[in-house]
Amino acid sequence: MNLPGITSDPETLARDFIPLETAGNGLFRIGEEGVQAIYTPQDRVAELIVFEQKTLVYINSKMGYPALYPLEPATFEGPAEAVLMDLDGTSVHSEHFWIWVIEQTTARLLGNAKFQLEAADEPHVSGHSVSEHLSYCVRKYCPNKTVEEARCHYFDIVHHEMAEIIAGRGRPNAFEPAPGLDEFLYKLKENGIKIGLVTSGLYEKAWPEILSAFRTLKMGDPLEFYDAIISAGHAIRKGQAGTLGELEPKPHPWLYAETARVGLGINPSRRHRVIGMEDSGAGVVSIRLAGFAALGLTGGNIDRSGSNPFLSGKVGTLMEALPLILGKSA
């Protein structure tokens, strides 16, 4: 079975994808209206509806707003004109900190300071939007509460912790630069490659992370260094303007698409000269739906999520990616 936009290798399909009979909450069914097959990766973050000459990707939403996207073939030709980099797990190691915040939020909802998340919760409390993480915990642990209540507790905790971190009093090692981040970024700059930083995290989460990392590395102001930084925007709270970024996080394509097209000025006709770097399955799907080739980093959940078929390659460290990005790989 050929899967347009991804692969025709049956071993890959069998290893990473789960076959389904229906998709899109019943909108698509095998054998009807040209649907030849339906697959979902192991983390079920997307549903791939396969036709003879195209693949559509249905992204469900824990917040009630699903979407359908075409999956176009993605190629990369080095040297790159632009590199799009994920924040959490790719540029900065902070996932443990944000999972801890979700855990503390759930503990407050339950009125149980000793509450701890289970290992099985990890795929559901990382890699998506704040509201989706909280929605999962509310459904599983405290169904008598609401996501809105959870958000109030969450942002109360975040505001306190971020202020402490910026003041130098926060949790130790909350945000650690990825190994070789400084050398990697400087090499991109030396070669005239534009750099976009992309995160599903809200600005109030993302900014202290990258600021902390740059302080550790003595690299100055991230706003002066990066060519574009795109986050999920600002939280919507009473008395404050916000954005709708939380309804369009990874695996939706919009954060990566906006970084490249608006932030970096890359015309879609030059997509083949852009590559995205991610360590999460949701992020990899986001890059691909935005029309770019995706390079995976080990250490995240790409293998567990079943997202390897979406990748153009995989590396263990940022510096290992340089030959490919610079067009010097064999």
Number of H helices, E strands in the chain: 11, 15
**Domain map of the chain by residue range?**
10-70, 82-93+177-325, 95-166
Nearest-CA neighbor of 69 among 307, 289, 245, 249? 289
Q: Quickly state the pLDDT bin for 173 (edges 50, 70, 90).
A: confident
CB 137 within 8 A of CB 150: yes
pLDDT tens digit sequence for 236-265: 777 777 776 777 889 999 999 999 999 999
94 with 44: CB under 8 angstroms?
Answer: no
pLDDT tens per residue, range 30-61: 999 999 999 999 999 999 999 999 999 999 88
CATH superfamily of 82-93+177-325: HAD superfamily/HAD-like (3.40.50.1000)
pLDDT(268) > 80 = yes
Q: Provide the terminal-to-terminal Cα distance of the chain, rounded to the nearest Å.
A: 30
pLDDT at 191: 97
Q: What is the dihedral of CA 120, 126, 132, 133, to 10 degrees?
A: 60
The DSSP result for 11-74, as a single string, is: HHHHHHEEE-SEETTTTEETTSTT--EEEEETT-S-EEEE-SS-EEEEE--TTS--EEEE----
> How far apart (Å, rounded) are the C-alpha atoms in residues 239 and 79?
46
| Percentage of the chain lying above the pLDDT 70 cut | 98
**Residue of higher predicted confidence among 126 and 267:** 267
> Hunting for tokens 């549903």 — which residue is that?
47
